[in-house]
Structure 1
Amino acid sequence: MNDARTGRPPMSRDEVDRTLARLRDERDRISTTLLELEAHHGYQLLEGATLEGETGRVQSEVRQGMSSLWNLFDLYGRTLRAAEDLRARHPRPGQAQLAELTRLLAGPSIELPPATIPLERRTLLSGSSGEKLTLRAAVERMTVLYEEVAQAVGELDGVWSALLSRLAEVEAERRSADELLDSLGGTEPELDRLRAELDAVAAVVRGDPLSLASGGRADTGRLDAIHAGLAEVRRGLERAERLRGEFAGRVDAIAAVLDRLREVEAEARRVREEVLVKIASPAPPEPPRASAALADRLASLSGPPPGLGWNDLAERVADLERASDAALERARETAGVIRGLLDRREELRGRLDAYRVKAARLGHAEDAELARMYERARELLWTSPCDLRAATVALSGYQQAINARAKGTKR
């Protein structure tokens, strides 16, 4: 016979025991999940902050949602404990006990206090009596609450963590600039402006981070702009500091690079002259000639120009360093290209000899056509000036002819 309170027949003892085992596991998993949510970084941020604006509204909703979750879980746990206690007192429960256990485990056994019922679920006459839920309905309601809270916490954490991380980077950049300015003395108006702007943005990040979100993602645009400005100021101060203490050494280093550049340029000219005698095609590139102009720029660096300071001179020195290093690298590359033409000729000569040996090994030492092709390639490679393009074509034809004969032999 069905129980009027549950609309179903009483559970058997085995059904009760299986249901209790399942619900105990369910209770433990829910408890663990709620504790993990409270330990979540985003939830901890919310709990420990005084917030306003949109973020303050989310904070209030999250707190209310968590309170409802724990209240409902507590009622769920009480009902389950009542069932556990009843089962423990009756090792061999009779029909009355099984009916009560069925009511507790499957019936509307959880009564919500009127104050805990959300306004949208109340009726005109619900003020004196609470809503009744089954354990399953309670879990379903807790699931909805949990998902709402977890989503709000997750979204806020993503925005806030990104903003706080970026803010920490910007503040570190500001401290670096401040320390440099303190060591150099004087003032830096741009740094003062950026400090004030950073303080204003930092207050928003810590008080209402969601106001700096767009499409559910952190908008770090203002922080990025401040960071870029601070980095530029810091770099200028670093240049000034380094140049003040290393001016003579850096000038000497540039002079040493220019000495190496002159040597490479001279070597490139010498090798090019040799190539022009030995190689007809392709023509070697013109040798670089940057050392003279760079030497003139170096000669003008004797100290800060009249009316200017170490900052300006630091930029000029850095530009000359970059230009000198780049010119040396280009000169080495050009010299390598020029020298590579001679190396290419030697490589082709070696390959020609190797192909001739291959032809002989395949039994084609007396092949008239191969002999003619060999002599043509050899003539091109041992004639000065050598046409590398024509020699490469001739050598390729000789190789293909040998390979064709090798395939024919195999067949």
Structure 2
Amino acid sequence: MEAVEAETRLARLDAELSAIETSLLALRDHPGRRLLAGAELTGDTRARWEDADRTLARLWGWHCTARATLERAHAVRPLRRAPGTAELVELAELLTGDCLTVEEPGTAPERLSWEQLVSRTTDGYAEVLEVVLAVDAVWSALPARVELLTAELRRLTELARSVGAVRGEHPAADVLAGVGAELAELRARAAGDPLTLWRPVGGSSEPGRGRVDTSGFDRAERAVEDARREVEDVIAVHRDADERLSRVRDVLSRADRTLAEARTARGEVLAKIAAWDVPPVEGSVGVLQERLAAAVAHRRTRRWARLAPLLADLERRADEELSLAREALSAVTAPLAVRAELRGRLDAYRAKAARLGLGDAAPLYDAARRTLWSAPCNLRTAEQLVRTYQEATLRGPAAERDTGVAGGEAG
């Protein structure tokens, strides 16, 4: 080995060893590694960390071996300004070939070159760093969120209990209990076996490339949010029960009156109108009145959790029943509206016929009028007679001249 080559190789190895030492020190001081060192781990995380911890100790041992060898080389180099043959031979032995002896407990010593040692150190460092970064990512992402959600869960559970929403009687309480069990299991996994919640990115060799699996937490969070809305509904019932019960009672009363009006109107329509389909009036608020009585009983006994879903359903169904009753009233009175429209149209065309001097259409008018003002009125016949009279009025010569004049004036 030439002196210049020895100088160059010493400088390069110094730089590589300093970089390795800096990385190992940073790994030693990493918060994730510190937490791992004192954690009570389980499962796959425990096995992988034990392997990683042994690897980390091995890396420091290799580093110490390499540092000692390099210090010996530095000690040989300054013996003379220009190293002699003996110094160059010793430097070659320290800096080239399989010059580093490493050994593991229970194994035979192994000789490695500097390149092999650096390569193994790099690979080992990446393995340890992967475990540290993955666990640190899980511990940074989940435990705090789990604790916050658990605190919210406790608050909601107490709130639900205060308004009578307890397990077995209200679905929100059952959901909260189930989420509590899920969060306890998730907390245990995150604390003891965090690597089960780590999903590495396939095809990447860079340590820390992956994501934390928060799907279980996200499901629990959505379930708590749904339960929170249900509990708030119960609280709202506690606050507004009297007003809402009164409104339901009023809506059902209006629906009942509208149905009674529709049935009365149907009888009148059947007496006044013939040859027209008049639908029967269906519907009854009796069942809803019974459910309203049950809701009032829940209110009286302060069973808010049972009242909440019942009252919400009553409000919806009462509004639907009122809407259907109004539609029924409109449907049974529709023939009277048709008759009124035909009467108005007949009178309008009579006035037009008089203005145009179409006296020969009078019999058609009389026939239509007799039918429209008869009881019961054959509405289909009346409709045809009005149409015939209308067409006769429009066909008259005077009507044509009047239309032409009107068109000219409009132009």
TM, length-normalised to structure 1: 0.51
Secondary structure class of the residue paired with 1:307 = helix
What is the alpha-carbon root mean square deviation over aligned residues? Answer: 4.2
Q: Deviation digits for residues 153-189 of structure 1, max 9, x if unmatched? A: 3444445544435534532432432453576687454
Secondary structure class of the residue paired with 1:115 = coil
Structure 1 position 205 matched with structure 2 position 190:
yes
Structure 1 position 136 matched with structure 2 position 115:
yes
Quote the Cα distance in structure 1 between the aligned partners of 2:106 and 2:14.
24
- Seen in structure 2, the aligned counterparts of structure 1 residues 249 and 73 have a Cα distance that, compared at 3 Å, is farther
Quote the Cα distance in structure 2 between the aligned partners of 1:21 and 1:212.
44
Which of 89, 93, 96 aligns to 1:106? It is 96
Structure 1 position 180 matched with structure 2 position 159:
yes
Could you tell me whether the CA contact under 8 Å between 2:164 and 2:304 is conserved in 1? no
Which of 3, 6, 11 aligns to 1:21? It is 11
- Seen in structure 2, the aligned counterparts of structure 1 residues 97 and 247 have a Cα distance that, compared at 3 Å, is farther
Deviation at 1:236, TM superposition (A): 3.1
* Structure number with bigger Rg: 2
Structure 1 position 170 matched with structure 2 position 149:
yes
Quote the Cα distance in structure 2 between the aligned partners of 1:212 and 1:78.
41
Alignment-derived partner of residue 258 in structure 1:
none
Q: Tell me, which stretches of 5 or more residues in structure 1 are unaligned?
A: 1-9, 118-126, 255-300, 321-382, 384-411
Could you tell me whether the CA contact under 8 Å between 1:66 and 1:149 is conserved in 2? yes
For residue 117 of structure 2, what is the amino acid of its counterpart? A
Structure 1 position 223 matched with structure 2 position 217:
yes
For residue 101 of structure 1, what is the amino acid of its counterpart? L
Quote the Cα distance in structure 1 between the aligned partners of 2:158 and 2:28.
40
Residue identity (%): 32
Could you tell me whether the CA contact under 8 Å between 1:108 and 1:134 is conserved in 2? yes
Quote the Cα distance in structure 2 between the aligned partners of 1:215 and 1:140.
23
Deviation at 1:111, TM superposition (A): 1.0
Structure 1 position 11 matched with structure 2 position 2:
yes
Quote the Cα distance in structure 1 between the aligned partners of 2:22 and 2:244.
63
Quote the Cα distance in structure 1 between the aligned partners of 2:196 and 2:71.
45
Could you tell me whether the CA contact under 8 Å between 1:55 and 1:210 is conserved in 2? yes
Q: Tell me, which stretches of 5 or more residues in structure 2 are unaligned?
A: 168-172, 202-210, 248-291, 316-409
Quote the Cα distance in structure 2 between the aligned partners of 1:240 and 1:57.
49
Alignment-derived partner of residue 85 in structure 2:
95
Structure 1 position 33 matched with structure 2 position 33:
no
Could you tell me whether the CA contact under 8 Å between 2:73 and 2:95 is conserved in 1? yes
Secondary structure class of the residue paired with 1:111 = strand
- Seen in structure 2, the aligned counterparts of structure 1 residues 86 and 239 have a Cα distance that, compared at 3 Å, is farther
Alignment-derived partner of residue 33 in structure 2:
43
Q: Deviation digits for residues 285-338 of structure 1, max 9, x if unmatched? A: xxxxxxxxxxxxxxxx9xx74325445777768x99xxxxxxxxxxxxxxxxxx
- Seen in structure 2, the aligned counterparts of structure 1 residues 250 and 39 have a Cα distance that, compared at 3 Å, is farther
Could you tell me whether the CA contact under 8 Å between 1:52 and 1:208 is conserved in 2? yes
Could you tell me whether the CA contact under 8 Å between 2:298 and 2:307 is conserved in 1? no
Secondary structure class of the residue paired with 2:64 = helix
How many residues align structurally? 257
Could you tell me whether the CA contact under 8 Å between 2:134 and 2:198 is conserved in 1? no
Alignment-derived partner of residue 401 in structure 1:
none
